[in-house]
Structure 1
């Protein structure tokens, strides 16, 4: 008899894991308190990259995840055509250090001069003297990908329960046996927490303290525009991309993946400042805001992902950025959960580092 897996949280990570487990023939139930991708996954810049990393192991995990996105697109019969990223968030010694470090780790990149930048992005005002081009980096809409993964998981027999509030985990025989909800208990052989910032409250009754960093974020989406931008753009002041509908999508903080701010400005101030930066980049465009999306990004206490076993019958996958990591984490975690042994790529990111011996 196949083990029964219960996944909490229908963001991109939970959806990817449900899809992979169901495709492998497992019995899967996915529980979501709201709607799929209603948290950080639905408010993400969607930048799939490894140029941002916190350690060498983190780089390699993210780099492998870029290939996992390509493989997942082929599996879902979707095109995969990375637009690439033009990066000049640092200049001077910081630029040189980034280029040398990424080259030493085998990351594909190309050095661009001002003429090359202008050729790639002719509508960009005041291009810098140099930039790095990362050809393998891509943008995905995590909310749309979540829906695709859920549909694929459902076709493989997975069950999705939305609007169901989990009030706790159930225990018995020295292991986690499922969840307690407003509608009653749901048993499982193994429960996986893909619950982002909701994870500490679920672990606390078990005597486990799981630290999360307060990392509020905001994302501006503009009204559709004619084509302005062909690549992901990472400048010292602003990251931005343009989607297939012509909308500019821009985090309201520079270097948003590394942003350590614990509070953010008032929404109107964020919108005004982001709009000003976009108009500086593209002064000839009539840029109008459409909406500002606020979210608390799920960032474990040391900034690195927390993936793997917690207790018998209980695992977790909590990370920033799920937009990059979710397909790879789902693939590798599914191997572990179905008895294929401990997977080396996840070894540096075990939750046990937070819980002590």
Structure 2
């Protein structure tokens, strides 16, 4: 039986370990961070295909939603729900164009009037004239989901820092860690922003964008936000315990900021936007999580065979949406040797 070493214990590494287990393969996960990862623990967790950069990217994201549903059917108690999204980040003609584009792709889009929005979100203060409703969209806690998938996979987890990949006769055979060497038949990098440093000695430059993400969680509140809400100023969702989760940047999926600024200023501004959305609610700071989001240079996933035999890559944003489907198809490629058409546009070779 082949032995796979997965570097990275976030949602991507966890999904890979689970899919390997389903195919009768064993995996070892090595990670500097605890199970659940770093970027995964600071994720908004919005599962959607309404945001995409190209047609192949849309299809991958849409299949990501289906892959999440397969996981919830296979494993009970996963932290995945399907509340849908009310979206009005664009208005007027731009909103209508978004609706037309998504419908042309087969996405389910419902146009909401002001009265329908108010009925769906009674606590919303400034109610827009129109919005779009995406009923197929969902929410997951990627860190919690990662821990569940790792537990289900039975993968051995080693807390260690990988210093370099090791190779023999032109083939990657493992990794050197601060605890010593690890040997495997193949290595998969699910290492997010740490990937370029591991690839550089092998002669592959993987460009990554600097995209810091700050996620704010509030105190527990009464049920006021039953959907993912995407407005021009703020995206927000509410969990089962009543906490609001909000990225500190508006439209965080397409955010191009390379720095966050002063944390107190950013957090206070986010709280003010939330209070404006839900007037009359006692909204206060609960906690924060910050991480660099793993966004490749062109914004698209990097998935497939690495620059040398024995090495595979799985680096992407948003892993929350994409990790389950990427894991399904990449593991099929690794085990079966047949490349997936769904992943064809996202190969590492485009950067060589």
TM-score computed with the length of structure 1 as normaliser: 0.96
Partner SS for 1:223: strand
Counterpart mapping for 1:305-344 below 5 A: 305-310=301-306, 311-344=308-341
CA distance in 2, matches of 1:100, 1:256: 23
**What is the aligned length?**
350
Which residue number corresponds to residue 244 of structure 2? 248
Counterpart mapping for 1:178-217 below 5 A: 178-217=174-213
Deviation at 1:23, TM superposition (A): 2.0
Deviation at 1:38, TM superposition (A): 3.4
Q: Does 1:287 align with 2:286?
A: no
Gaps of 5+ in 2: none
Deviation at 1:340, TM superposition (A): 4.4
Deviation at 1:280, TM superposition (A): 0.3
Which residue number corresponds to residue 57 of structure 1? 56
Deviation at 1:81, TM superposition (A): 4.4
Partner SS for 1:133: strand
Deviation at 1:136, TM superposition (A): 0.6
Deviation at 1:36, TM superposition (A): 1.6
Partner SS for 1:150: helix
Partner SS for 1:198: helix
Partner SS for 2:77: coil
CA distance in 1, matches of 2:179, 2:39: 26
TM-score computed with the length of structure 2 as normaliser: 0.98
Q: Does 1:168 align with 2:164?
A: yes
CA distance in 1, matches of 2:13, 2:323: 8
Q: Does 1:350 align with 2:347?
A: yes
Which residue number corresponds to residue 113 of structure 1? 113
Which runs of at least 4 in structure 1 moved beyond 4 Å after TM superposition? none
Counterpart mapping for 1:203-242 below 5 A: 203-242=199-238
CA distance in 1, matches of 2:169, 2:76: 44
Alpha carbons 2:11, 2:37 under 8 Å: kept: no
CA distance in 1, matches of 2:148, 2:47: 17
CA distance in 2, matches of 1:182, 1:132: 50
CA distance in 2, matches of 1:182, 1:221: 34
CA distance in 2, matches of 1:58, 1:248: 29
Alpha carbons 2:8, 2:37 under 8 Å: kept: no
CA distance in 2, matches of 1:288, 1:262: 26
Alpha carbons 2:229, 2:235 under 8 Å: kept: yes
